[in-house]
Amino acid sequence: MRLPIGWLEVFTPLEALGLTDPLRAHSEGVRALVGTLDSLGLVVEGVEEHPVAADGVVTAKVLAIHRIEGADRIRLVEVDDGSGRIRPVVCGAWNFVEGDVVPLALPGVRLPNGAEIGARRLRGVTSEGMLCSAPEAGLGSDASGLAILSPSLPLGVPVREALGVRDEVVLDIAVEPNRPDASGVRGVARDLAARFRAPFVDVTGVLTRQDPRAVTVEEGAVDRLVLASLEVRGAVLEPRVARWLVLSGMRQISPIVDATNAVMLETGQPSHAYDRDRLAGGVVGVRSARPGERLVTLDDRERTLAGGELVIVDGSDRAVGLAGIMGGAETEVNAETEQVLLEVAAFPRERIARAARATGLRTEASWRFERGVDPAVAHAVCARVAALVGVATPMLVADVAYATTPRRIAVRAESAVAIAGDPVVLESFEPDAGLSRLGFDLEPDGDGWQVGVPTWRPDVTDVADVVEEALRQVGYDAVAPTPLIGPRRDGPTLRQQRERALSTLLADEGAFEAWSVTMVSPSVEEQLGSERVAPVIANPLRPEESVLRTTVAAGLVGALDHAVRRRLEPARFFEWGPVFWQEGRVVNERQRLGLIVAHAHDGGVEAGRWLARLVARAGLELGPGSVQLGPGGPGWPRLHPSRQAAVIDDGLVVGVFGELAPDVAAALGARRWRYGVVELDADWLAEPRPLTASSTLGAFAASELDLSFEVPWDLAAASLAARVREEIGPVVRDVAAFDTFVREGRRSLGLRLRLEDPEGPISEARVREVIEVARHAGAALGAALRTAPAS
Backbone angles phi, psi at 603, to 5 degrees: -65, -35
Q: Which amino acid is at 747?
A: R
Containing H/E element for 728?
helix 717-728
Q: Which of 286, 237, 223 is nearest to 266 (CA)?
A: 237
DSSP letter for each residue of 488-535? ---SS-HHHHHHHHHHHHHHHTTPEE----SEE-HHHHHHHS-SSBPP
User: CA-to-CA distance for 335 and 151, rounded, in angstroms?
Assistant: 19
Cα 380 to the center of its chain, rounded Å: 35
Q: Which of 773, 199, 733, 671 is nearest to 509 (CA)?
A: 733
Report CA-CA distances (Å) from 460 to 37, 377, 412, 465, 695: 20, 18, 16, 5, 59
User: CA-to-CA distance for 75 and 592, rounded, in angstroms?
Assistant: 79
Spatial contact of 322 and 295, defined as CB atoms under 8 Å apart: yes
Beta bridge partners of 311: 287, 322
In the chain, how long is the greatest CA-to-CA distance?
A: 121
Containing H/E element for 471?
helix 463-474
Alpha helix stretches (DSSP H) within 511-636: 522-528, 552-565, 603-617
Alpha-carbon dihedral sign for residues 211, 213, 218, 220: positive
Q: CB within 8 A of 446, min separation 6: which ones? A: 412
Burial bucket for residue 592 (CB in 10 Å: 0-12, 13-18, 19+): buried
Q: Which of helix, strand or coil describes residue 15?
A: helix
Q: Which of 252, 61, 78, 89 is nearest to 150 (CA)?
A: 61
| DSSP summary character for residue 95 | S
Backbone angles phi, psi at 597, to 5 degrees: -135, 150
Beta bridge partners of 448: 412, 445
Half-sphere exposure of 725 (CA within 13 A, CB side): 17
Cβ of 776: how many Cβ atoms within 10 Å?
12
Q: Is 293 annotated as a binding residue?
A: no
Spatial contact of 132 and 140, defined as CB atoms under 8 Å apart: no
Spatial contact of 518 and 578, defined as CB atoms under 8 Å apart: yes
| DSSP summary character for residue 536 | B
Give CA angle at 718 (712, 722), nearest 5°. Answer: 105
User: CA-to-CA distance for 632 and 634, rounded, in angstroms?
Assistant: 7
Q: Which amino acid is at 448?
A: G
| DSSP summary character for residue 761 | P
Q: Is 499 annotated as a binding residue?
A: no
Q: Is 650 annotated as a binding residue?
A: no
User: CA-to-CA distance for 147 and 95, rounded, in angstroms?
Assistant: 9
Half-sphere exposure of 609 (CA within 13 A, CB side): 19
Q: Is 649 annotated as a binding residue?
A: no
Cα 182 to the center of its chain, rounded Å: 20
Half-sphere exposure of 770 (CA within 13 A, CB side): 29
| DSSP summary character for residue 146 | B
> Binding-site residues for Mg(2+), please?
459, 465, 468-469
> Binding-site residues, please?
459, 465, 468-469
